[in-house]
């Protein structure tokens, strides 16, 4: 049966695909969002649900103050002798020639945890992965060269990891410098019929992105490139639905067939509003021992792939309403069992919802008296103490709606709804107070250019206001109301292309997030309560 790509839409980049028995897992990057490393599960490759997050303790994963699109990069998930291994990078600095990239490994008997305390491995580069062979473990990562006269992404190192000692041993071996396409990263190694296959991403994660393959008879090389590289790319193929294709991992599936997961995006006028997403391709082995896409010889990512044994239905609608009044049965929320067993953050939000850099509780976010309760945090442009809850936008056609209770006492009390990329790029429908009383305003922030687009006064007796973001492809319209079902447009139609990877000045590696927040820039105890969060998708 044909399965539609992307299988995991909306801000799910750098997929690491793993098959264990009849179960499939994909780990994706989360950057500055918390909890860290999203792990999704499927039994059919078509339908994916969030099973857990691996990094849930912000005392062990400190991202406070990190810049946008730093944080947790490119996790790699492997399985060996009854245990899951997860390697990942925390990027503390990404500036000019330097990157402070600390690589870690953590392990667990189950993807839902408990995950062991992270072990620091090295800081020579990023995108670490683990290769296991005959009871031994080997770290694979790309390496950064800070010298201005050298290639910055200078190659791939392999070094043995001693699990008992909890550290790398011996010296790193430079096994490859890539294929010459530049920006060699995302390495992972697997063994198949006499060869070690090194899969790398090259060309950068924009429109020249690609996946290349090299192989060797020995783990430490020498590695020869596939003469038909790249095995996957959408570069130069303007008619391709899935652009920016690259950063891949190939596995043999439970059905004996081979599949390759990769990142991609579906841009509007070369603006990836949903960020980088996860797709899957069928791959086949050639007579000379290389692999290629099953559907074509050009490496062009296909909008559909085949799962021969799948006879069910692919669910593409991620609509979800969370009602904190008690009408929502949290026993049915995905991830609840794993949260109760292992999650140190007891706020019973669906796993689709995240916050910034720290845990919900440390950001002042709880559920209290039947409402989502947000203690006022720092301003929406801060890298610290954000009282903000958000989920990924997973469709270009969707609504996000809430009902907010908020009693601002002065101008430094602010709360509302965000369509958010980062602290320098977002649209904000907010309530506050000035010398004339309470008001609603729409503020645009595009690469630090801040503009208040409209302000309307609210009657003093209004304590509850309904807020909605209506997104239709590259257009956003905010609405408000004071009664259920009443929707009044507020502000102009806004350009969602500003909320995209390509429009960001600096690194843009995440995607559009839809959320609510509360700011207390007076530090005198203001808060906001939200009765529900309703995310609804529509056909485009």
The string of DSSP letters for 11-52 reads S--S-EEEEETTEEEEEE--BTEESEEEEEEESSSS--EEEE
185 catalytically annotated: yes
DSSP string, 328-369: S-GGGSTTHHHHHHH-S------TTEEEESS-TTTTTEEEET
- Give the model's pLDDT for residue 477: 98
* pLDDT score of 333: 43
* Catalytic residue selected from 157, 185, 226, 474: 185
| Per-residue confidence band for 335, with pLDDT thresholds at 50, 70 and 90 | very low
Residues in contact with 518: Cβ distance below 8 Å, sequence separation at least 6, in sequence order: 374, 375, 376, 377, 387, 406, 414, 415, 526, 527, 528
Sorting pLDDT into bands at 50, 70 and 90, what band is 524? Answer: very high
Predicted confidence at residue 328, as pLDDT, reads 52
| pLDDT for residue 435 is more than 60 | yes
Which tokens in the block code for residue 481?
């109301």
Q: 2-306 belongs to which CATH class?
A: mainly beta
CB 181 within 8 Å of CB 159 = no
Q: Tell me which of 364-373, 388-397, 464-473 is least confident.
A: 364-373
Question: 255-258: which pairs have CB atoms within 8 A and are 24 or more residues apart?
Answer: 255/307, 255/308, 255/309, 257/282, 257/308, 258/282, 258/283, 258/284, 258/285, 258/291
For residue 58, indicate whether it is catalytic.
Answer: no
Structure confidence at residue 347 as a pLDDT band (50, 70, 90): confident
The number of CA neighbours under 13 Å toward the Cβ of 260 is: 34
Q: Which residues of 355-371 are buried (b: 16+ CB within 10 A; e: fewer)?
A: bbbbbbeebbbebeeeb
For the record, the structure tokens of 534 come out as 């309703």
The mean pLDDT of the chain is 94
Question: With 60 as the cut, is the pLDDT of residue 329 above it?
Answer: no
- Per the CB < 8 A criterion, the answer to whether 392 and 276 are in contact is no
pLDDT in tens, 168-227: 999 999 999 999 999 999 999 999 999 999 999 999 999 999 999 999 999 999 999 999
User: Per residue, what are the HEC states of 237-278?
Assistant: CCCCCCEEEEEEEEEECCCCCEEEEEEEECCCCCCCCCCCEE
Q: Where are the domains of the chain?
A: 2-306, 320-537
Catalytic residue among 14, 277, 302, 531: 14
Q: Is 15 in contact with 25 (CB distance < 8 Å)?
A: no
Coil, strand or helix at 498 = helix
Per-residue pLDDT tens digits for 57-79? 999 998 999 999 999 999 999 99
Whole-prediction pTM: 0.96
Q: How confident is the model at residue 96, as a pLDDT?
A: 79
pLDDT in tens, 27-52: 999 999 999 999 999 999 999 999 99
Residue range 320-537, CATH number: 2.60.120.200
The pLDDT of residue 330: 47
pLDDT of residue 348: 79
């Amino acid at each position: 049966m044909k399965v539609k790509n992307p299988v995991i839409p909306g801000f799910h980049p750098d997929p690491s695909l793993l098959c264990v028995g009849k179960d499939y897992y994909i780990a994706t990057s989360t950057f500055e969002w918390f909890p860290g490393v999203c792990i999704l599960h499927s039994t059919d490759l078509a339908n994916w649900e969030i099973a857990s997050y691996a990094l849930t303790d912000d005392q062990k994963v400190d991202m406070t103050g990190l810049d946008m699109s730093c944080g947790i990069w490119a996790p790699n998930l492997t399985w060996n002798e009854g245990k899951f291994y997860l390697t990942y990078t925390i990027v503390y600095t990404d500036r000019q020639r330097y990157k402070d990239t600390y690589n870690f490994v953590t392990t667990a008997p189950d993807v839902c945890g408990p995950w062991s305390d992270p072990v620091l491995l090295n800081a020579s580069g990023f995108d670490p992965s683990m290769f296991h062979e005959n009871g031994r473990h080997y770290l694979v990562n790309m390496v950064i060269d800070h010298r201005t006269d050298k290639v910055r992404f200078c190659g791939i190192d392999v070094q043995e990891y001693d699990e008992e000692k909890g550290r790398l041993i011996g010296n790193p071996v430079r096994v490859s410098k890539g294929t010459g396409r530049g920006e060699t990263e995302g390495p992972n190694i697997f063994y198949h019929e006499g060869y070690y296959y090194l899969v790398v991403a090259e060309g950068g994660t924009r429109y020249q992105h690609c996946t290349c393959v090299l192989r060797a008879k020995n783990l430490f090389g020498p590695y020869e490139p596939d003469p038909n590289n790249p095995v996957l790319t959408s570069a130069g193929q303007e008619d391709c639905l899935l652009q920016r294709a690259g950063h891949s991992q190939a596995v043999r599936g439970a059905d004996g067939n081979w599949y390759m997961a990769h990142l991609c995006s579906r841009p509007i006028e070369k603006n990836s509003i949903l960020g980088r997403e996860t797709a899957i391709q069928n791959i086949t082995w050639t007579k000379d021992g290389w692999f290629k896409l099953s559907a074509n010889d050009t490496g062009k990512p296909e909008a559909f792939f085949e799962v021969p044994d799948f006879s069910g239905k692919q669910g593409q609608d991620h609509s979800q309403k969370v009602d904190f009044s008690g009408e929502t049965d949290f026993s049915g929320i995905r991830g609840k069992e794993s949260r109760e067993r292992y999650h140190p953050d007891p706020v019973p939000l669906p796993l689709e919802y995240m916050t910034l850099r720290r845990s919900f509780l440390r950001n002042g976010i709880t559920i209290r008296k039947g409402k989502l309760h947000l203690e006022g945090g720092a301003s929406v442009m801060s890298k610290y103490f954000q009282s903000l809850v958000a989920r990924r936008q997973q469709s270009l056609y969707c609504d996000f709606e809430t009902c907010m209770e908020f009693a601002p006492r002065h101008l430094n009390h602010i709360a509302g709804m965000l369509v958010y990329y980062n602290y320098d790029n977002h649209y904000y429908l907010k309530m506050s107070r000035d010398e004339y009383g309470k008001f609603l305003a729409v503020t645009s922030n595009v690469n630090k250019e801040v503009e208040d687009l409209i302000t309307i006064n609210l009657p003093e007796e209004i304590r509850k206001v309904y807020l909605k973001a209506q997104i239709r492809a590259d257009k956003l319209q905010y609405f408000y109301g004071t009664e259920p079902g009443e929707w009044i447009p507020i502000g102009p139609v806004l350009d969602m292309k500003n909320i995209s990877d390509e429009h960001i000045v600096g690194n843009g590696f995440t995607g559009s997030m839809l959320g609510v927040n509360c700011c207390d820039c007076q530090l005198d105890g203001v808060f906001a309560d939200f009765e529900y969060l309703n995310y609804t998708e529509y056909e485009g």
